[in-house]
Amino acid sequence: MTFLKVVPKFFDNDKKLIFRDSFMVLMLLFTILIAVAVRYILPWLDGILIEKGYMPSENIAYALHDTYPMWASFISLYNGGLLAGMVAGFLMLDEKDEGTLTALIVTPVPLQHYTFYRFGLAALFSFLMMMIMVYIVGIELLPFWQLTLLCASASLVSIIVSLFLSLAAQNKIQGFAMGKFTSIAGWVIMGGWFLPENWQWLLGIFPPFLVHKAYWLALDGNPLWWLALALGTLLQVAAIYWMSKKFNESVYK
């Protein structure tokens, strides 16, 4: 059976699983609301902190607006990828609970068709969410062509998150717990902002971080943003390749 013939069937099944679970719909709405809140709250809070003399101050040498690149990339790129990855991961856990993946093995549909659809759709949805959220947040914007490249690379985190959930959790209840872990992992990006620039490169052990560093470097006009983007992309692809092998092994057990 060809890939194009099975896509509508996969998509119909996804619609049933998503719309019967209000939590997934609420996740989407909540993520959009965060982006809207950041657009208006950050400038308002920055003004108050400057007026009160809290940031900058004797103890804090920078203003809140100096950290805008961190907030813009984290809220738009990481949260957008996290949302898509969690939705895809939860769908896979639903299908695991219902025995869909086990049944798929004995059908004429190759497992590769399923994984390409599941992860490809997650990455595409993630990319679109990131592009929308970047403009909703509306601070520290890059030229469209740079945003397109950065969001395309950052969208790979959705595949990493979905694979992590499907490998680390046996059911949806465990998936919720693991979903919190993926949210906490994003703090690496925020914490990395405050490290000296040379030390930031070491955080490449968390591949998505380098994509965010590329965003910050691009805002500064630093040509090394290409290097950070390339390394971040390659490391994410390597992680996806390794996790995909583990996923295939788990399905055929």
Task: Report DSSP state, residue 21.
Answer: -
3-state DSSP assignment of residue 222 = coil
Rounded CA-CA distance 91/155 in Å is: 18
By the 10 Å C-beta count (0-12 exposed, 13-18 middle, 19+ buried), 103 is classed as exposed
For 83-103, what is each residue's pLDDT tens digit?
A: 888 888 888 887 777 666 666
Averaged over 125-137, what is the pLDDT? 92
Six token digits for residue 113: 């068709």
- As a whole-number percent, the residues of the chain with pLDDT over 70 amount to 83
> Per-residue confidence at 104, pLDDT binned at 50, 70, 90?
low
Range 148-173 average pLDDT? 89
How confident is the model over 187-221, as pLDDT tens digits? 899 999 998 888 899 898 888 999 999 999 999 99
**What residue spans of 138-171 are helical by DSSP H?**
144-154, 156-168
CA angle at 243 for the pair 237 and 245, rounded to the nearest 5°? 105
Spatial distance between the Cα atoms of 179 and 177, rounded to a whole number of angstroms? 5
Q: Is the pLDDT of residue 6 over 80?
A: no
CA 72/CA 15 separation, integer angstroms: 31
Across the chain, mean pLDDT equals 84
Query: Residue 27's pLDDT band (boundaries 50, 70, 90)?
Result: confident
- Does residue 156 carry a pLDDT above 80? yes
Token couple for 45: 């809070």
Q: Which residue has the tokens 């985190």?
A: 157
Q: What is the pTM of this model?
A: 0.88
Residue 80 exposure: Cα atoms within 13 Å on the Cβ side? 31
Higher local confidence (pLDDT), 114 or 241 = 241
**CA neighbours within 13 Å on the CB side: how many for 156?**
26
* Euclidean distance between CA atoms 46 and 24, whole angstroms: 33
Q: How confident is the model at residue 3 (pLDDT cuts 50, 70, 90)?
A: low
